[in-house]
Amino acid sequence: MCELGERLRRAREEKGLSLREAAERLSLKARVLEAFEECRFAELPEPALARGYLRRYALLLGLDPEPLLALYPRGPEPSFSPAPPARRPQRVWLLLLLALLLGLGYGAYRLLRPEPAQVVQIPSEPLPHAPQRHPLRVVSDPPGARVYLDGFYLGQTPLETPPLEGGRRVLRLELPGYQRLEEVLLLDRPLSLNYRLLPAPAQAPAPPAATPVPSGKLVLRLEGRSWLRITQGEKRVYEGIPQVGTELAFDLPVEVRAGNPGAVRVFLEGQDLGLLGEPGKPLTRRFP
């Protein structure tokens, strides 16, 4: 796998997205994103269109698209054919004869051609201007809020973006323990926005659900969204993003790969081992 594909795949797993979910958000086919991640560039459309897809995919994953575009291979250089050899001097008279015949033919055409019809020029409409692009700066109190623009994840506050397409955009901020903030803004100039997030209303904790105690099994309870891949030996028995609250049971031994380990609680033969790992830090763990 090339460096471009590895960066895209690692960023997608850290966000807990499957190829299908990412393709649905971008209104693309999953095989296009799979070709980027597996570096099968020959399966992609023409370079100009493919680079546009790559830029949109990088923004969805919260990556700077310019370094990734620099890794995308450019098309082949145009080749030039050698100049044809000069004609031999003895054939110059053939060229003169051909020029004479062409001159006679053109003169006959000028004498015999009909009068040209009058052409009415219709003024064409002016081409639309390219949309303006402006940078955006977002700061929140407390910091660390996740920033979404029109549903696309941009990063965490404090955040400064490269120039974005202007117009009416929907900005959303999310931070665990605080109320979600959403507003419509007009990006018609460089904007610097500051927000104060309000704590979420306190709720009584729900009693923990009873977890079955199967013998010789590993149980994974999803307390948040996370991509999972489960293998037993050389066989892959599960891969996807389960619904929050789902419990998955597997026979031992088993290997677990999680994109967001902080959302996965582990029960080994009925014993609560706690969370699989830290939030947002993908890891692989074996349970013999």
Q: Please write the tens of the pLDDT for every residue from 25-41.
A: 889 888 988 888 888 88
Q: Say if CB 57 and CB 8 are below 8 A apart.
A: yes
pLDDT at 275 over 90: yes
At position 234, the amino acid (one-letter code) is E
H, E, C per residue of 57-99: HHHHCCCCHHHHHHHCCCCCCCCCCCCCCCCCHHHHHHHHHHH
Q: Say if CB 254 and CB 228 are below 8 A apart.
A: no
The rounded mean pLDDT for the chain is: 83
pLDDT at 103 over 90: no
The one-character DSSP state at 136 is E
26 forms beta bridges with none
194 forms beta bridges with 139
What is the pLDDT at residue 116?
A: 61
pLDDT at 122 over 90: no
CA–CA gap between residue 57 and residue 174 (Å, rounded): 21
| Domains of the chain from N-terminus onward | 3-71 (1.10.260.40), 133-196 (2.60.40.10), 217-287 (no CATH)
pLDDT at 78 over 60: no
pLDDT at 120 over 80: no
Q: What is the pTM of this model?
A: 0.32
Q: What is the pLDDT of residues 228-242, one digit of tens each?
A: 999 988 899 899 999
- In this prediction, residue 108 has a pLDDT band, given cuts at 50, 70 and 90, of confident
What is the pLDDT at residue 123?
A: 56
What is the pLDDT at residue 73?
A: 81
pLDDT at 114 over 70: no
Return the H-helix or E-strand segment holding 35: helix 30-37
What is the pLDDT at residue 111?
A: 77
pLDDT at 117 over 80: no
Among 40-54, 105-119, 207-221, the range scoring the smallest mean pLDDT is 207-221
Q: What is the pLDDT of residues 153-189, one digit of tens each?
A: 888 999 999 999 988 999 999 999 899 999 998 999 9
